[in-house]
Every structure is written in structure tokens, then in C-alpha cells.
């Protein structure tokens, strides 16, 4: 294996000192002549030399790397968020390392340790069970993906989920549905607010609709869970005429569950999802859903993190909830009895 060229090799080829090479590579051209700079850069190109980022980070205390921790890399919601983070971060000379916690607190803690030990400059995270203290103890700027309610002094970027749920349920109400079920995810330690569940309850109270606990099912955020939940709902003595699912993966599972029981969507039961992942538009029928601004969420989170890493004097946490929109497609219609 060929030896990797070093800064000493560049200095010898260019006929200058190691310190001079360092000044050229670090952009200190005001104290280096143009002829010297040209010779150094020619030697760099000829040798194929690349700066040792690890050694540089020890001198500057910066690695120009940030971590993005997401809970489920298989959920198509997250790649668009990650792309927004990456585009905004790379434009400022940083690299993004994405890690998947897989909804496991142990993995989350392992990655927090990795971020601290490897001297990352910042972290963007959708927390599973990490506490405020856990995140403060890594001693770098942190931005929360989500409402940030449990992290008031940290910046957070999320979607206005509660308003999105209200929009989805209003759509079903206007179609004539009154027995509307909810398939949602189980809360984690740091997500006890349960925005979808609470918005569902608030909607029923606002419209004087009775809540039937049999129509509320909490499952894991998976397609199989949506499938099972729909079977449970459709085997009730008085099944719902419509279902709101907490994300599109659950909704797609619910759609398949209804079809497996020979229920027609939307003629027999309407279904609304949330997130607007790519697959939502390709199901049969296509899925009515709430559009979340995924890419924009990533970009805004990156902007908040960049501001913190640059040392901007921001003395309190900034919290933003981006608006959602309704995409009406083929999975919703008035109930049969209207």
C-alpha cells in the first residue's frame, strides 16, 4: 500500500518549510508570496496531499462535522428532513453524519457518547428518551426536531401537528363522518404530550362529539401495527366510518388491513394519514394526508444549529412549528349512510 503523502513531503517538494505549507493550506495568503503559494499548491496537487482533518481539529477544536440522530431510517419521512439538513450544512463547509436510534434508548445513549467522544461540532436530534441533562452533557450546540416542550432552553424545529390533526378531522367531519377512529403511536418518556391524541380529544370536545375509547388505538409506528389496528377497529360491533392515522406508514397499513377484510376504501371506510411520504400518493386508492414540510424542517434546524456553532449571542431557546397542509386524494369520501 502506497504511503499517504504528508505535509513534510509537500514542504520538501515545494522547497519551503512545513510552517509555510501550513499557512498556505489554512488560507493565510497575506503573509505568503504568490510565487511561494503557487509552488506549494503545485506540490499539493502533484502529491495528491489532503489535509489531516483530525489533526486540524485538535488545533482548532472544530471538526466541521455535525450529527443527525433520527429514530427510524426506514421511515420515508426522514430522508427529506436529512436532505434539508445536509444541503444547508454542507453549504457552510460542514459534513453531516446520520445515525439511526431505531426507537431504542440504549442506541440513543450510545450515539450521544459517540458524538461527545468524536468531538462533533453540533447535534440535531429527534429524541427518544434522552433528557435535557443528557443533551447538555455532550457540551455542544443541540437542536431538537419536534416541539421541544421538554427542552425549553434548546432550539427546536417541528411541524404544527395539532393544527394538522384538526385540519384532517375537519375534512372528515365536513364529509359527514362522526365515528372517527384514531390510530396513533405509543408515547415515549419525552413525548408525553401526545399531540395527535390531544388534538383528537380537543376536536371532539369542540364539536360536541362523544369519544369512544374503543376507537383510539395506540401501537408502534409501523405498517404492521396499522394493519392490526384496522382489523381491531373493523371487528367492532359498531366500527368507525373513518380513521385518522398518526403517520402515513400506519395509514398505509390500515388501508391494507381494510382491503384484506374486503372493505372498500373510501366507500366503506375513509382513511387519512399524516406526513405525505412518497408512497402516500402511490397507494390504491391514493392516500389523503397531511403534508408536513419535511425538507424545510431540516433546513431550519440546520440554520439554527449553524447560528449556535458560530457563537451568535442567543440567550434563550428558539421554537418554531412550521404549518401543515391537507392533500385530498382518493382515500376519503362521505360515509355510505349520507
Half-sphere exposure of 279 toward its Cβ, with a 13 Å CA cutoff?
15
Query: Per-residue confidence at 31, pLDDT binned at 50, 70, 90?
Result: confident
Q: Which of 26-35, 246-255, 265-274 has the lowest mean pLDDT?
A: 26-35
**CATH number 3.40.50.150 is the correct assignment for the domain at 63-159+294-322:** no
DSSP H or E run through 7 = helix 7-14
Rounded distance between C-alpha atoms, residue 90 and residue 212, angstroms: 49
Distances (CA, A) of 135 to 112, 132, 187, 318: 8, 5, 20, 16
Distances (CA, A) of 50 to 41, 43, 178, 236, 266: 11, 11, 65, 66, 59
Rounded distance between C-alpha atoms, residue 122 and residue 124, angstroms: 7
CATH 3.40.50.2300 in the chain, residue ranges: 63-159+294-322, 161-292
Domain 161-292: what homologous superfamily? Answer: Response regulator (3.40.50.2300)
Cβ burial, residue 114 (10 Å; 0-12/13-18/19+): middle
Q: Taking the model in full, what pTM does it have?
A: 0.80
Q: Express as a percent the part of the chain with pLDDT over 70.
A: 93
Rounded distance between C-alpha atoms, residue 289 and residue 305, angstroms: 30
Q: Which of 5-14, 200-209, 228-237, 290-299 has the lowest mean pLDDT?
A: 5-14
Amino acid at each position: 500500500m502506497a504511503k499517504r503523502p504528508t505535509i513534510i513531503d509537500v514542504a520538501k517538494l515545494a522547497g519551503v518549510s512545513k510552517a509555510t505549507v501550513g499557512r498556505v493550506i489554512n488560507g493565510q495568503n497575506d503573509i505568503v508570496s504568490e510565487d511561494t503559494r503557487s509552488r506549494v499548491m503545485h506540490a499539493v496537487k502533484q502529491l495528491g496531499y489532503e489535509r489531516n482533518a483530525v489533526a486540524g481539529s485538535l488545533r482548532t477544536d472544530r471538526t466541521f462535522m455535525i450529527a443527525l440522530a433520527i429514530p427510524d431510517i426506514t421511515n420515508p419521512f426522514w430522508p427529506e428532513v436529512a436532505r434539508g439538513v445536509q444541503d444547508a450544512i454542507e453549504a457552510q463547509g460542514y459534513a453531516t453524519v446520520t445515525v439511526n436510534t431505531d426507537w431504542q434508548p440504549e442506541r440513543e445513549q450510545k450515539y450521544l457518547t459517540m458524538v461527545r467522544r468524536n468531538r462533533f461540532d453540533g447535534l440535531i436530534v429527534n429524541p427518544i428518551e434522552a433528557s435535557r441533562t443528557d443533551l447538555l452533557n455532550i457540551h455542544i450546540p443541540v437542536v431538537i426536531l419536534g416541539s421541544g416542550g421538554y427542552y425549553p432552553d434548546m432550539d427546536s424545529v417541528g411541524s404544527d401537528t395539532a393544527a394538522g390533526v384538526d385540519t384532517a378531522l375537519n375534512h372528515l367531519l365536513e364529509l359527514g363522518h362522526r365515528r372517527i377512529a384514531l390510530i396513533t403511536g405509543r408515547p415515549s418518556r419525552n413525548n408525553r404530550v401526545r399531540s395527535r391524541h390531544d388534538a383528537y380529544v380537543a376536536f371532539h370536545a369542540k364539536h360536541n362529539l362523544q369519544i369512544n375509547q374503543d376507537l383510539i388505538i395506540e401501537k408502534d409506528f409501523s405498517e404492521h401495527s396499522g394493519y392490526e389496528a384496522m382489523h381491531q377497529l373493523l371487528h367492532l360491533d359498531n366500527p368507525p366510518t373513518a380513521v385518522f392515522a398518526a403517520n402515513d406508514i400506519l395509514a398505509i397499513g390500515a388501508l391494507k388491513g381494510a382491503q384484506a377484510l374486503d372493505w372498500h376504501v373510501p366507500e366503506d371506510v375513509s382513511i387519512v394519514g399524516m406526513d405525505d411520504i412518497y408512497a402516500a400518493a402511490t397507494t390504491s386508492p391514493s392516500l389523503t394526508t397531511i403534508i408536513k414540510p419535511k425538507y424545510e424542517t431540516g433546513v431550519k434546524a440546520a440554520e439554527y444549529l449553524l447560528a449556535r456553532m458560530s457563537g451568535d449571542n442567543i440567550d434563550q431557546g428558539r421554537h418554531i412549528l412550521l404549518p401543515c397542509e391537507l392533500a385530498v386524494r382518493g382515500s376519503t369520501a362521505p360515509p355510505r349512510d349520507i
